[in-house]
C-alpha cells in the first residue's frame, strides 16, 4: 500500500507551510496511518486570511474577467495532467473506489472549465430610470471567501465553490476536513504551479473545532461557504451572525427515490442501488429512502436484494463497487443506526460490518436493505451516511408526496415514471432543491440548493457563480452645468 513520503503542507500566501505539528492521515481501507498533514491553528488562519486580503486588494480584483478565465483554464489543464495522481490520493485518503475518484477528478476539472467559460458572461444591469441619469447594478466579488468542506468528496466539494469564487474575483481560504485533506492541499499547490498569483487560493489544514472555527469567526472574512452536517451548520450560522458575515449552508439530506408502477424497472433498479452504494452512501444527495408503488414493490425489492448481494466490497485501490466508510467513528455511527433499524423494520440483506477476514482492519459495511420501513422509524427520518437503504410502499401519488416530503430535509428527490403528468405533478409538489425524473445524476450545470434542514444558499450552475458576487447600485446623474 502507498505511503506519503513527506508531511502534506498547508498552502498560505503562495508558500508550502509546515507548522512543526502534524496530524495523521488514515487509510480507511486498512485503518493504518499512511502519512501526516501540517496542523494549522488560529495563527495560520490569520496569515491565510491576510494573504487572501492582500492578493484581493493588490492583484486579483484588478484582473479582467478574461484574465481570470485564462487562469481557471490553466488550473483545469494542470489537474488534467495530474489526474492519475489526484485520483490515487483521493482513494488513499477516503477509501473510495478508484473509478469513483477518477469521476471526482473529472468534476474538479469541469468546475474550473465551466466557470472559466461562464465568467465573461456575468454582466450587471443598466436600469431604465430616465434620460437624466444612468442607473447601474454592478456585480462585484465579496472579497475574501472562507470555504469549509467535508470529507466525503474533498476534491469535488472544494472545487465546486472555489472555482466560481475565484472566477468571480474573490480570494479564498479553504479548510478541508481533517479526515480528507490530501487533495485539497494538492490542488492548491497545483494552482500555484499553473500560475495563479500567491494568496488567491490558500489552504489551511486542521480540525474543525479549532482551524475551522477560527476561520468562521474571523472578522476579515467576507463570505462563508459551508458544506457539512446540520449541527455544525447551526454553529457556523451562529458564528456568522456574530460577525454579520453572509453564509451559504449546504447540509445533509434524506433523499427519496419514488418509483411509480409505470416506471422502467430495468433502467431504474441499477441506478437506485448505485445512488446509495456509491461512495459507501456518504453522499449528501444519496438516494437513501426508496418509496415504491404497491404494484411493483415486491418485484423491485427482489431485484435490489440481488444487486446488493452481488456488490463487490474491497479496498478502494482494487476498484470494487463498494469501499469502506471514512473512519472508525463513521463505522460506529452507521452500524449503530443499522442496529436501531433491526428493531424498527425488516432486515432484507446486509446488516453489519463486512465479514471477509481480509477486510477486518478497514471500515467496511455491507450494503444493507431494510423493508417495511414506517415513516416514524429513525432509519426513515435520519441521515445515516452509509450504504443503508430503506424501502417503504405507497398506494397512490398523494401518499407518495406525503412520504417524500415527510422528513426535516429537502435536498434531492428522484422520480421514476413513464407518465409526463406524474412527472409534472411531482416536480411541483416535492419540497426539495432538486428533482430528477428517470435519472439520479446531476452535473455541474444544475443549480444545487437545500430546503429546510438541508440548508440555504446555492452552488453549481449560473446561480452558483452569482452567489460569489454582491450587487452594487450606482447612479450617475447628468450634469446641467
Ligand atoms: P461536519 O462534521 O459538519 O464537518 C464539515 C466540515 O466542517 C469539516 O471540514 C469539519 O472539520 C468542519 N467543522 C467541524 N466543526 C466546525 C466548527 N465548529 N467550525 C468550523 N468548521 C467546523 O460534516 P461531516 O460529518 O464531515 O460531513 C458529512 C455531512 O456533510 C453530512 O451531513 C452530509 O450530508 C453533508 N454534506 C452536504 C453536502 C451538500 O452539498 N448539501 C455535500 C456533502 C456533504 P473537521 O472534519 O476537520 O472536524
Ligand atoms: Mg483519510
Residues 219 and 350 in one domain: no
- pLDDT at 1 (0 to 100): 58
Residue 2 in domain:
no
Residue 422 in domain:
yes
Cα–ligand 2 centroid distance for 26 (angstroms)? 5
Burial 363-376 (b: 16+ CB within 10 A, else e): bbbbbbbbbebeee
Q: Residue holding cell 458575515?
A: 245
- Total residues belonging to the chain: 481
Taking alpha carbons only, the member of 4, 36, 24, 88 closest to residue 315 is 88
Ligand 1 atom closest to Cα of 253?
34
Exposed/middle/buried for residue 475 (C-beta within 10 Å: 0-12, 13-18, 19+): exposed
Mutate-to-test residue for ligand 1 from 93, 175, 208, highest number of ligand atoms within 8 A of CB: 208
* Cell numbers for 138: 454592478
Strand order in the sheet with 455-456: 15-17, 10-12, 201-203, 171-175, 144-148, 223-227, 247-250, 455-456
- pLDDT at 377 (0 to 100): 98
Cα–ligand 1 centroid distance for 49 (angstroms)? 21
Ligand 1 atom closest to Cα of 233?
3
CATH value at residue 364: 3.40.309.10
The Cα–Cα gap between 251 and 289 comes to: 17
Q: Is the Cβ–Cβ distance between 175 and 211 less than 8 Å?
A: yes
Mutate-to-test residue for ligand 1 from 150, 236, 333, 334, highest number of ligand atoms within 8 A of CB: 150
Residues 270 and 379 in one domain: yes
Domain count along the chain: 2
Residues 317 and 368 in one domain: yes
Cα–ligand 2 centroid distance for 28 (angstroms)? 6
The Cα–Cα gap between 378 and 213 comes to: 30
Residue 101 in domain:
yes
Residues 111 and 207 in one domain: yes
Which residues are catalytically annotated? 250, 284
- pLDDT at 478 (0 to 100): 85
- pLDDT at 480 (0 to 100): 76
Residues 242 and 265 in one domain: no
The Cα–Cα gap between 473 and 216 comes to: 28
Cα–ligand 2 centroid distance for 245 (angstroms)? 30
Task: Give this prediction's pTM.
Answer: 0.96
Residues 175 and 247 in one domain: yes
In the structure, ligand 2 is a single-atom ion and the residues with CB under 5 Å from it are 93, 179
The Cα–Cα gap between 102 and 124 comes to: 37
- Residue pLDDT, tens place only, 260-304: 999 999 999 999 999 999 999 999 999 999 999 999 999 999 999
Residues 17 and 34 in one domain: yes
Residue 348 in domain:
yes
Cα–ligand 2 centroid distance for 89 (angstroms)? 10
Q: Is the Cβ–Cβ distance between 167 and 160 less than 8 Å?
A: no
Give ligand 1 pocket residues (Cβ under 6 A). Answer: 148-152, 157, 175, 177-179, 207-209, 212-213, 216, 227-229, 232, 235-236, 250-253, 284, 383, 385, 411, 450
Taking alpha carbons only, the member of 86, 159, 153 closest to residue 385 is 153
Q: Is 304 left (phi over 0), alpha (psi -120 to 50) or beta?
A: alpha
Which residue ranges of the chain lie beneath pLDDT 50?
Answer: none
Residues 306 and 225 in one domain: no
Residue 450 in domain:
no
Residue 89 in domain:
yes
Ligand 1 atom closest to Cα of 151?
26
Indicate which residue's Cα is closest to atom 15 of ligand 1.
Answer: 208
Ligand 1 atom closest to Cα of 448?
40
Residues 409 and 274 in one domain: yes
Q: Is the Cβ–Cβ distance between 98 and 88 less than 8 Å?
A: yes
CATH value at residue 175: 3.40.605.10
Domain of 201, in residue numbers: 10-251+455-472
Taking alpha carbons only, the member of 13, 5, 88 closest to residue 44 is 13
Amino acid at each position: 500500500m502507498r505511503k506519503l513520503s513527506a508531511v502534506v503542507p498547508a498552502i498560505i500566501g503562495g508558500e508550502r507551510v509546515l507548522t512543526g505539528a502534524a496530524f495523521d492521515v488514515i487509510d480507511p481501507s486498512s485503518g493504518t496511518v499512511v502519512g501526516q498533514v501540517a496542523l494549522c491553528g488560529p495563527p495560520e488562519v490569520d496569515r491565510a486570511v491576510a494573504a487572501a486580503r492582500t492578493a484581493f486588494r493588490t492583484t486579483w480584483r484588478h484582473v479582467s474577467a478574461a484574465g481570470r478565465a485564462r487562469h481557471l483554464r490553466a488550473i483545469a489543464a494542470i489537474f488534467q495532467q495530474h489526474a492519475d495522481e489526484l485520483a490515487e490520493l483521493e482513494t488513499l485518503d477516503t477509501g473510495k473506489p478508484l473509478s469513483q475518484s477518477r469521476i471526482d477528478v473529472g468534476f474538479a476539472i469541469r468546475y474550473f472549465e465551466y466557470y472559466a467559460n461562464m465568467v465573461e458572461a456575468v454582466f450587471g444591469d443598466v436600469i431604465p430610470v430616465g434620460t437624466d441619469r444612468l442607473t447601474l447594478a454592478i456585480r462585484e466579488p465579496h472579497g475574501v471567501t472562507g470555504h469549509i468542506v467535508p470529507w466525503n468528496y474533498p476534491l469535488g466539494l472544494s472545487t465546486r465553490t472555489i472555482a466560481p469564487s475565484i472566477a468571480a474575483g474573490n480570494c479564498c481560504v479553504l479548510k478541508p476536513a481533517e479526515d480528507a485533506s490530501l487533495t485539497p492541499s494538492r490542488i492548491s499547490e497545483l494552482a500555484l504551479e499553473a500560475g495563479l498569483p500567491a494568496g488567491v487560493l490558500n489552504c489551511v489544514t486542521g480540525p474543525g473545532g479549532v482551524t475551522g472555527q477560527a476561520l468562521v469567526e474571523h472578522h476579515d472574512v467576507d463570505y462563508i461557504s459551508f458544506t457539512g452536517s446540520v449541527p455544525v451548520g447551526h454553529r457556523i450560522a451562529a458564528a456568522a451572525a456574530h460577525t454579520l458575515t453572509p453564509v451559504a449552508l449546504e447540509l445533509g439530506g434524506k433523499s427519496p427515490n419514488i418509483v411509480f408502477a409505470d416506471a422502467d424497472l430495468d433502467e431504474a433498479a441499477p441506478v437506485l442501488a448505485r445512488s446509495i452504494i456509491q461512495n459507501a452512501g456518504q453522499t449528501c444527495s444519496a438516494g437513501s429512502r426508496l418509496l415504491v408503488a404497491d404494484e411493483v414493490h415486491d418485484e423491485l425489492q427482489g431485484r435490489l436484494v440481488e444487486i446488493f448481494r452481488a456488490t463487490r466490497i474491497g479496498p478502494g485501490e482494487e476498484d470494487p463497487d463498494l469501499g469502506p466508510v471514512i473512519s472508525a467513528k463513521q463505522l460506529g455511527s452507521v452500524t449503530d443506526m443499522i442496529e436501531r433499524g433491526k428493531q424498527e423494520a425488516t432486515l432484507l440483506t446486509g446488516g453489519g460490518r463486512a465479514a471477509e477476514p481480509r477486510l477486518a482492519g478497514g471500515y467496511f459495511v455491507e450494503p444493507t436493505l431494510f423493508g417495511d420501513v414506517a415513516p416514524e422509524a429513525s432509519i426513515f427520518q435520519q441521515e445515516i451516511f452509509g450504504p443503508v437503504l430503506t424501502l417503504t410502499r405507497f398506494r397512490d401519488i398523494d401518499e407518495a408526496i406525503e412520504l417524500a416530503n415527510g422528513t426535516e430535509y429537502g435536498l434531492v428527490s428522484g422520480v421514476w415514471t413513464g407518465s409526463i403528468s406524474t412527472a409534472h405533478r411531482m416536480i411541483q409538489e416535492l419540497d426539495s432543491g432538486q428533482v430528477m425524473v428517470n435519472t439520479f445524476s446531476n452535473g455541474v450545470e444544475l443549480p444545487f440548493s437545500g430546503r429546510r434542514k438541508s440548508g440555504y444558499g446555492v452552488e453549481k450552475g449560473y446561480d452558483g457563480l452569482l452567489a460569489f458576487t454582491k450587487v452594487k447600485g450606482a447612479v450617475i446623474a447628468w450634469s446641467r452645468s
